[in-house]
Amino acid sequence: MKVAGITGGIGSGKSTVARIMGELGAYVLDADQIAREIVEPDQPAWRDIKGFFGDAALNPDRTINRKKLAEIVFSNPAARKKLEFFTHPRIGQTILKGLEKARGENRKLAVVDAALLVESSPPGWLKPLILVTADEGVRVRRACGRDDSCADEIRARIRNQASDPERKLKADIIIDNNGSESELRAKVLEIFRQLASD
């Protein structure tokens, strides 16, 4: 089974690429969704986060206040490292379990959708690494359109992530996503056919 990584900055459309891959038959592992699941109340990662960051990181219903936590860690590298220490190994373990399930289903292709693949030095078996890119203005417009963040918040998050030139140095396949979803779908279909037939 081939295991591809899909990455890209906020608003690039990487999750749309992963969704299309899934519709075409790939087994999709969404690192952001896994990250949400492992920090549900009373899970081990939730207990670690509550213990370190305190009740300031929680909503009234005891769920993690992701927006508040993001504000804390984006301005504090040491806190960000601590959060990654609590979450990244558990996300990795869950991804490996998912890949075992995909192998059991005899899938030809699995994809791991993760924003920080380049920053976290992806394992050698995650090949090819697919990078989804778009102009900053397009990314800001998309990200503002899907949640309540303002343009300045999105731009700050873009500055905190690896730049596209940095990501391109490690990418095997680059998808330009400045156009429509139908244009994107055509590009993804071509890549899926290549990967599924290898």
pLDDT tens digits, one per residue of 61-108: 999 998 899 889 888 989 999 999 999 899 999 999 999 999 999 999
3-state secondary structure 1-69: CEEEEEECCCCCCHHHHHHHHHHHCCEEEEHHHHHHHHCCCCCHHHHHHHHHHHHHHECCCCCECHHHH
Is the separation of the CB atoms in 137 and 155 below 8 Å?
no
Is the separation of the CB atoms in 12 and 139 below 8 Å?
yes
Structural domain boundaries in the chain = 2-197
pLDDT at 116: 77
pLDDT at 45: 96
Domain 2-197 in this protein, CATH class: alpha beta
The helix or strand, by DSSP H or E, that contains position 191, with its residue range, turns out to be: helix 181-197
> Can you state the angle between helices 77-104 and 31-38, rounded to 10 degrees?
110
pLDDT at 177: 97
Counting as low any pLDDT under 70, the low residues of the chain are: none
pLDDT at 171: 93
Q: Strand (E) positions, 64-164?
A: 109-113, 129-133
Is the separation of the CB atoms in 17 and 83 below 8 Å?
no
CA distance 122 to 1: 17
pLDDT at 79: 94
pLDDT at 159: 83
